[in-house]
Amino acid sequence: MQSPELIEVRPDERFDTSAVRSYLVGRLEGDHGDLTVRQFAGGHANLTYLLQYADGSEYVLRRPPLGPVAPGSHDMAREHRILKDLWKAFPEAPRSYALCDDPTIIGTSFFVMERKGGVVVRREVPEVFGAGRDQEANRKLSEVVIDTLVRFHNIDPHDAGLGDLGHPDGFLQRQVEGWATRWHLSKEQDWSMATDLIEWLQNERPNSPAPSLVHNDWRLDNMAVSERDPGRCVAVYDWDMCTQGDPLADLGTLLSVWYDADEAPSELNPMPTTAPGFLSRQEAIDRYSNQAGISPSRVDYYVVFGSFKMAVIVQQIYIRYVRGQTRDDRFAVMGDAARHLMELAVRRRP
């Protein structure tokens, strides 16, 4: 059965399939025959493709988005380096097999990794889990995204071959400064609320807990769960920003898109958090805090920072569309979405 996530490759995001097949000969075990390519429709940043060989073998190719990207972001070599070893300590991470840094193959760097299937839950709960009507399934979806995050944060980076990844000292300060810079580079005009929010984030920054591995984009739609059990994670995707740092930054990213029933979700809300039975945001905070052994009172700052970061991410995508660096019409509405998220970040300040 064909996955609903798959589409024909968008015209401006195509590449030379024969060049990729030739490059991968000898880099993937065995000769798998002719190659066809389809594209995963989800996601708005890195581009992801399914490689389907004649013998039934399947792999996934990841490449950066079209147009200029922020320095240090969408780093394929970094993501490959993480995924070639992380799966040993965290089996939900797909294993990466090959990195190509030769831009003559498809015009940019890319890497090829294991395909790990499962059900990706985005804006709405799919029919296989009751289409939002099954409160038990909804609760499991909300619990698994928290429980898997705690388990990931408990990994010893050395066990994953990533003991030297990143620079955990000063992580949160660099994150705030870095995302403020990204905002200034991607904005169309000055927003006084963004200026005030950046100042608040700089002045109110708390002391970080002990560092851990950090995914940096932890959300339900970056995971896949078992078709038979919505409470069992089978895959976690999008590792290009993984590093060592403040684990509560991951929690803040997740909670920034965790809307309660009395909140108006963003136009791009990636999680069905208002479905009946889904944990409230405070219940999610408490569940993480109880398992991780931290005070829930420390989390408010990270929710605001996560909301600001999501606004900047959406603005970065939108400005590429405005500047004609991508022709993907999904991005036309993202200016309004970025403003909504920035306003939300302001409202969430304690």
Q: What is the pLDDT of residues 176-232, one digit of tens each?
A: 999 999 999 998 888 999 999 999 999 999 999 999 999 999 999 999 999 999 999
> Rounded to whole angstroms, how far apart are CA atoms 264 and 249?
23
> Rounded to whole angstroms, how far apart are CA atoms 283 and 145?
13
| In a domain? residue 122 | no
- pLDDT tier at 264 (50, 70, 90 boundaries)? confident
| Tally of structural domains, the chain | 2
Residue 261's nearest CA partner among 140, 132, 121, 131 is: 132
Residue 229, H or E segment? strand 229-236
C-beta of residue 249 within 8 angstroms of C-beta of residue 170: no
Share of the chain above pLDDT 90, in %: 74
Asked if 200 and 275 sit in the same domain, the reply is yes
Structure tokens at 330: 């999904």
Output DSSP code: residue 25: B
**Segments forming the whole domain that contains residue 337:** 127-347
| In a domain? residue 120 | no
Q: How many residues does the chain have?
A: 350
Q: What is the pLDDT of residue 1?
A: 38
| In a domain? residue 328 | yes
Residue 51's nearest CA partner among 62, 66, 41 is: 62
> Rounded to whole angstroms, how far apart are CA atoms 333 and 337?
7
Asked if 202 and 83 sit in the same domain, the reply is no
- At residue 44, the 3 state secondary structure works out as coil
Asked if 163 and 102 sit in the same domain, the reply is no
CB count, 10 Å around CB of 56? 8
Q: What is the pLDDT of residue 21?
A: 95
Residue 14 has pLDDT above 80, yes or no: yes
| In a domain? residue 121 | no
Is-above-0.85 flag for pTM?
A: yes
Type of residue numbered 217: D
* CATH number of residue 93's parent domain: 3.30.200.20
List CB contacts of 96: < 8 A, sequence separation 6 or more.
Answer: 79, 80, 82, 83, 84, 111, 112, 113, 114
- Which alpha helices (H) appear in 154-295, and where do they start and end? 171-186, 192-203, 247-256, 281-292
- pLDDT tier at 268 (50, 70, 90 boundaries)? low
Residue 68's nearest CA partner among 186, 169, 175, 184 is: 186
Q: What is the pLDDT of residue 321?
A: 78
Asked if 340 and 192 sit in the same domain, the reply is yes
Asked if 135 and 92 sit in the same domain, the reply is no
How far apart, in Å, are the Cα atoms of 193 and each of 174, 206, 259, 268, 308?
A: 21, 21, 21, 21, 11
Give the residue with greater pLDDT, 320 vs 289.
289
- pLDDT tier at 334 (50, 70, 90 boundaries)? confident
> Rounded to whole angstroms, how far apart are CA atoms 6 and 115?
13
* CATH number of residue 235's parent domain: 3.90.1200.10
Asked if 235 and 94 sit in the same domain, the reply is no
Asked if 205 and 265 sit in the same domain, the reply is yes
The DSSP annotation for 105-155 comes to TTSS-EEEEE----BPP-SS--GGGTTT--HHHHHHHHHHHHHHHHHHHTS
- Mean pLDDT across the chain: 91
Residue 308's nearest CA partner among 192, 197, 181, 186 is: 197
Asked if 106 and 156 sit in the same domain, the reply is no
Residue 332 has pLDDT above 80, yes or no: no
Residue 71 has pLDDT above 60, yes or no: no
Residue 70 has pLDDT above 60, yes or no: no
- At residue 56, the 3 state secondary structure works out as coil
Structure tokens at 127: 């029919």
- pLDDT tier at 72 (50, 70, 90 boundaries)? low
Of 64, 92, 114, the one marking the end of a domain is: 114
Of 114, 148, 172, the one marking the end of a domain is: 114
Asked if 100 and 249 sit in the same domain, the reply is no
The backbone region for 49, taken as left when phi is positive above 0, alpha when psi lies in -120 to 50, beta otherwise, is beta
List CB contacts of 67: < 8 A, sequence separation 6 or more.
Answer: 320, 323, 325, 326
Output DSSP code: residue 220: G
Residue 90 has pLDDT above 80, yes or no: yes
Q: What is the pLDDT of residue 117?
A: 86
Asked if 308 and 263 sit in the same domain, the reply is yes
